[in-house]
């Protein structure tokens, strides 16, 4: 009797070597919120990735919500354009802040909107566009930035998956005035459920900090700039806990090692599964001048039926693969809000995406096994 193969999980959260000791240190310090670990995380990211100001948040959702509130309060924005192929948090953040929302279509090569897709929606001056860097790929964010600047449009990057990606020598998250980053446990570096707000416009830092700390100017008090703090704007409790920040710092300090381990797996998949367009299997397209953060490896099949067949076949062989986003525009709530204008490319390709396992608990043998099963499935078609 042949033994069943060991399961290959879609994701296993990375546990850094110093995670336990840092978390215990945070508990013993009893600083709770915005203490030493939070400040060390902010400083490390600012210095290494050239971000003018980083606010560590309890989630990427929180960072998105600050982005939306901030651009409305400080730049008068009231209309936003984003892909339907994204997580609900992206849309929720702007709807909760009172924006008029319009979804735009995607470029199938990246599964994200490019400049042409945003331009086709004709955003008015003063509105916001939200590029979503799917699978960490910044796409043509440089061209989006140049086009937006010419038209007086604000760019708020949803860089949830793109921490450590770059394009043309600039890090993802540094192209627009603000960007939301995820440190969710499914990401390369995580704090269980955390995130960060990157602020690249110095004129937004004060108000963003007030919003981040429940709408108060408490940070000014801590710096000795005022003798008592007050409620100065709308805000919420967007801060990370020190326990989250301790876990995040342990991961940030292992960033290069984590990246190297993921790179071997990503490039292994690409070598084995690339150049199969003739068989109906496509992999994502990265520009030569882009830096990959190796967050995710997805394949795109020619139909939803093919993607389902491959996913089910892999599952039968104890391999977990995962779908992409379910589009928001024609979801129950999107339809209720009358956001369901036709998006032909999103509707055609969203259900054709399948993400393969990729995490630091995998070894090369596991990657070879997944690739081999995909190739065998193709051969049987």
pLDDT band, residue 1 (cuts 50/70/90): very low
Helix (H) or strand (E) holding 151: helix 141-151
Query: Which segments of the chain belong to CATH 3.90.1150.10?
Result: 255-380
- The tokens of 263 are what? 């790179």
What is the distance between the alpha carbons of residues 309 and 219, in angstroms, rounded to a whole number? Answer: 54
The partner residues of 180 in beta bridges, in order of sequence, read: 158, 197
Render pLDDT for 161-219 as a digit per residue (tens, 0 to 9): 999 999 999 999 999 999 999 999 999 999 999 999 999 999 999 999 999 999 998 87
Residues above pLDDT 70, as percent of the chain: 99
Minimum mean pLDDT among 105-114, 172-181, 219-228, 302-311: which range?
Answer: 219-228
Render pLDDT for 16-64 as a digit per residue (tens, 0 to 9): 999 999 999 999 999 999 999 999 999 999 999 999 999 999 999 999 9
- Per-residue pLDDT for 2 more than 50? yes
Q: What is the pLDDT of residue 381?
A: 85
19-253 belongs to CATH 3.40.50.720: no
What is the greatest pairwise CA distance in the chain? 76
Read off the pTM. 0.95
Instruction: Please check whether residue 262 is in contact with residue 292, taking contact to mean a CB–CB distance below 8 angstroms.
Output: no
Minimum mean pLDDT among 2-16, 64-78, 119-133, 191-205: which range?
Answer: 2-16
Q: What is the pLDDT of residue 227?
A: 72
Q: What is the pLDDT of residue 30?
A: 97
What is the distance between the alpha carbons of residues 372 and 370, in angstroms, rounded to a whole number? Answer: 5
Render pLDDT for 278-296 as a digit per residue (tens, 0 to 9): 999 999 999 999 999 999 9
Q: Which of 120, 168, 159 lies closest to 136, judged by CA?
A: 159
Which 8-state DSSP code applies to residue 231? B
What is the distance between the alpha carbons of residues 275 and 28, in angstroms, rounded to a whole number? Answer: 54
Render pLDDT for 209-234 as a digit per residue (tens, 0 to 9): 999 999 998 877 677 777 778 999 99
How far the first Cα of the chain sits from its last, in Å, is: 28
Class of domain 255-380: alpha beta
- The tokens of 195 are what? 């995130």
Helix (H) or strand (E) holding 283: strand 281-283
> What average pLDDT does the structure give for the chain?
96
Instruction: Please check whether residue 133 is in contact with residue 145, taking contact to mean a CB–CB distance below 8 angstroms.
Output: no
Query: Which segments of the chain belong to CATH 3.40.640.10?
Result: 19-253
């Amino acid at each position: 009797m042949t033994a069943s193969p060991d399961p290959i999980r879609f994701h296993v959260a990375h546990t850094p070597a110093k995670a336990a000791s840092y978390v215990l240190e945070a508990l013993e310090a009893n600083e709770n919120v915005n203490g030493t670990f939070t400040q060390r995380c902010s400083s490390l990211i600012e210095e290494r990735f050239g971000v003018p100001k980083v606010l560590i948040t309890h989630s990427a959702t929180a960072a998105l919500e600050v982005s939306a509130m901030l651009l409305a309060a400080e730049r008068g924005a009231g209309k936003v354009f984003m892909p339907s192929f994204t997580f609900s948090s992206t849309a929720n953040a702007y709807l909760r802040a009172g924006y008029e929302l319009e979804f735009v279509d995607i470029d199938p090569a990246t599964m994200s909107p490019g400049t042409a897709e945003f331009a086709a929606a004709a955003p008015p001056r003063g509105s916001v566009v939200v590029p979503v860097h799917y699978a960490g790929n910044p796409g043509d964010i440089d061209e989006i930035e140049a086009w937006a600047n010419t038209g007086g449009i604000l760019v708020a990057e949803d860089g949830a998956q793109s921490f450590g990606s770059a394009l043309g020598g600039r890090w993802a998250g540094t192209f627009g005035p603000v960007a939301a980053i995820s440190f969710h446990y499914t990401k390369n570096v995580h704090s269980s459920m955390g995130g960060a707000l990157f602020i690249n416009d110095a004129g937004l830092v004060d108000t963003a900090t007030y919003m981040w700390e429940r709408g108060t100017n408490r940070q000014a008090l801590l710096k000795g700039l005022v003798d008592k703090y007050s409620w100065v704007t709308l805000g919420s409790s967007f801060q990370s806990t020190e326990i989250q920040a301790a876990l995040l710092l342990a991961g940030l300090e292992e960033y290069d090692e984590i990246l190297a381990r993921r790179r071997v797996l990503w490039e292994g998949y690409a070598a084995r599964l690339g150049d199969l367009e003739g068989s109906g299997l496509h992999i994502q397209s990265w520009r030569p001048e882009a830096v990959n953060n190796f967050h995710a490896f997805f394949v795109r099949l020619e139909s939803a039926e093919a993607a389902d067949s491959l996913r089910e076949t892999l599952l039968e062989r104890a391999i977990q693969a995962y779908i992409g986003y379910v589009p928001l525009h024609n979801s129950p709530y999107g339809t209720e809000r009358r956001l369901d204008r036709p998006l032909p490319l999103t509707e055609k390709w969203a259900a054709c995406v399948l993400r393969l396992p990729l995490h630091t608990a995998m070894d090369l043998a596991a990657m070879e096994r997944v690739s081999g099963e995909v190739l065998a499935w193709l051969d049987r078609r």
